[in-house]
C-alpha cells in the first residue's frame, strides 16, 4: 500500500528573479524622500483572495512592471512554502528531492499573464506602477497544464499496457517524470484557488503511481530459447518478473538461433585452424499468443577449440544488446 506523497517544499527561491532589495524591503526604502510619490507605492496594498498585487519602479514602465512582477513571483514562492509545509512522502520511485526540483523549475518558469496595470506614475524621471494579476486566470492556465499531464499518465497506464507490455516498460521513465511534474503543480494550484482539493489530488496521483507499479508487477515473462542467449535477455531486462513455465507467462520472448559455419582464410597465425560461426538470433515478442514484434541480431564468433563452442559464445550478443537497448530490440 502506498502512503500519501510528501511534497516537501523548503525555501523556494526563484533564481535570478527576486532580489532582497525588491521583495523583502518595503518600496518606501527603495525610493527618494519625495512627497510626490503615490501612496499605493509607499504603502502598497496586500494581495487579495482573487488577485496578486505588486508595485515597482524603473527607468521605463516595462522595467517598473518587471520589478512588480518579481515581487508577485516572490510572494507565490513564499506562499507555496508556507501553505504546503510537510505533506506526504513518496514511494514506488517518486522521491521528495525530485519533486522539489520540479517545483523549483515550475516556479522559476512561471509566466504571469494577463497583467493589469492599475496605476502608473512618472515622477522625477522614474516610472512607478501598481499591477494586478488574476489568480483564477492563472489557475485555469496551470490547471490545464496539470490535466494534460494526467491525461498522458492515463494513456500510458491504459493504452500502452493493453497494446504492448514492452512499450509500457519503456515508458516507465516518461511516466515517472510526468508524474513528478504533476506533483510539482499542486502547491501552485492550491494557492491560486483555495477550493482546489489538495489532499484528494495527491491521493489521486498516488493511485496512478500505484497502478503503474501493480501493472508492471503483473507482467510475467517467459524466455523461450537457448539458455546462454536467454540469460543475456534476462540480464538486461531488469525490474520484471520471469517465470519458468510458458503457461504461467503473459509475455513470451522467443529466441530462434541459426548458425552458419564460415570457411575463412586468415593470415593471423593465432587464428589458424579456428572455427568461425555466424549466428543469427531472431527475437519474437509474443503477447496474447500474437507476435507483436520481431527483430534479428547477428554476431560472428570464433573458437579455437570447436564449432559447438563458437555457437554458444554470447559475449558479442551481450554487447550488441547493451548498445542497442533491450527494450528497443524487443519493440521492433
**What are the φ and ψ backbone dihedral angles of 327, each rounded to 5 degrees?**
-70, -35
* pLDDT greater than 70 at residue 233: yes
Indicate the Cα dihedral angle 163, 215, 177, 322, nearest 10°. -70
Q: Looking up cell 507482467, which residue turns up?
A: 219
What proportion of the chain, given as a percentage, has pLDDT over 70? 81
Residue 128 contacts residue 37 (beta carbons within 8 Å):
yes
Confidence of residue 11 (pLDDT cuts 50, 70, 90): very low
Measure the CA–CA gap between 157 and 242, rounded to whole angstroms. Answer: 21
**Average pLDDT value for the chain:** 83
**What are the φ and ψ backbone dihedral angles of 267, each rounded to 5 degrees?**
-95, -20
pLDDT in tens, 98-112: 666 666 666 666 778
Mean pLDDT of 310-331: 95
Q: Is 250 helix (H, G, I), strand (E, B) or coil?
A: coil
Mean pLDDT of 281-289: 94
Confidence of residue 260 (pLDDT cuts 50, 70, 90): very high
pLDDT in tens, 72-82: 988 888 877 66
Question: For strand 241-242 and strand 251-262, is the pairing parallel, antiparallel, or unpaired?
Answer: unpaired
Q: Is 89 helix (H, G, I), strand (E, B) or coil?
A: coil
Which pLDDT does position 185 carry in this prediction? 87
* pLDDT greater than 50 at residue 26: no
Statement: the pTM of the whole predicted model exceeds 0.85: no
CB burial string 166-188: b at 16+ within 10 A, e below = bbbbbbbeebbebbbbbbbbbbb
Which pLDDT does position 24 carry in this prediction? 39
Residue 281 contacts residue 326 (beta carbons within 8 Å):
no
Amino acid at each position: 500500500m502506498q502512503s500519501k506523497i510528501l511534497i516537501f517544499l523548503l525555501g523556494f527561491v526563484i533564481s535570478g528573479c527576486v532580489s532582497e532589495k525588491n521583495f523583502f524591503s518595503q518600496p518606501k526604502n527603495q525610493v527618494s524622500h519625495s512627497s510626490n510619490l503615490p501612496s499605493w507605492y509607499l504603502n502598497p496594498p496586500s494581495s487579495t483572495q482573487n488577485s496578486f498585487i505588486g508595485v515597482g519602479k524603473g527607468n521605463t514602465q516595462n522595467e517598473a512592471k518587471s520589478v512588480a512582477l518579481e515581487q508577485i513571483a516572490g510572494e507565490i514562492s513564499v506562499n507555496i512554502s508556507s501553505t504546503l509545509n510537510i505533506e506526504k512522502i513518496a514511494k514506488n520511485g517518486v522521491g521528495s528531492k525530485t519533486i522539489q526540483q520540479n517545483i523549483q523549475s515550475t516556479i522559476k518558469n512561471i509566466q504571469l499573464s494577463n497583467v493589469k496595470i492599475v496605476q502608473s506614475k512618472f515622477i522625477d524621471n522614474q516610472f512607478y506602477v501598481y499591477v494586478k494579476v488574476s489568480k483564477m486566470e492563472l489557475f485555469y492556465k496551470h490547471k490545464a497544464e496539470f490535466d494534460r499531464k494526467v491525461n498522458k499518465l492515463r494513456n500510458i497506464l491504459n493504452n500502452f499496457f493493453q497494446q504492448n507490455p514492452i512499450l509500457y516498460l519503456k515508458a516507465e521513465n516518461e511516466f515517472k517524470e510526468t508524474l513528478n511534474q504533476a506533483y510539482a503543480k499542486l502547491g501552485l494550484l492550491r494557492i491560486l484557488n483555495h477550493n482546489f482539493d489538495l489532499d484528494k489530488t495527491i491521493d489521486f496521483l498516488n493511485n496512478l503511481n500505484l497502478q503503474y507499479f501493480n501493472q508492471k508487477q503483473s507482467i510475467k515473462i517467459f524466455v523461450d530459447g537457448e539458455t546462454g542467449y536467454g540469460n543475456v535477455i534476462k540480464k538486461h531486462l531488469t525490474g520484471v518478473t520471469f517465470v519458468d513455465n510458458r503457461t504461467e507467462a503473459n509475455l513470451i520472448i522467443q529466441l530462434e538461433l541459426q548458425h552458419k559455419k564460415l570457411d575463412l582464410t586468415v593470415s593471423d597465425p593465432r587464428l589458424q585452424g579456428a572455427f568461425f560461426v555466424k549466428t543469427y538470433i531472431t527475437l519474437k515478442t509474443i503477447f496474447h499468443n500474437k507476435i507483436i514484434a520481431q527483430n534479428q541480431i547477428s554476431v560472428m564468433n570464433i573458437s579455437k577449440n570447436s564449432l559447438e563452442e563458437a555457437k554458444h559464445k554470447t559475449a558479442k550478443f551481450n554487447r550488441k544488446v547493451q548498445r542497442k537497448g533491450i527494450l528497443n530490440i524487443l519493440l521492433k
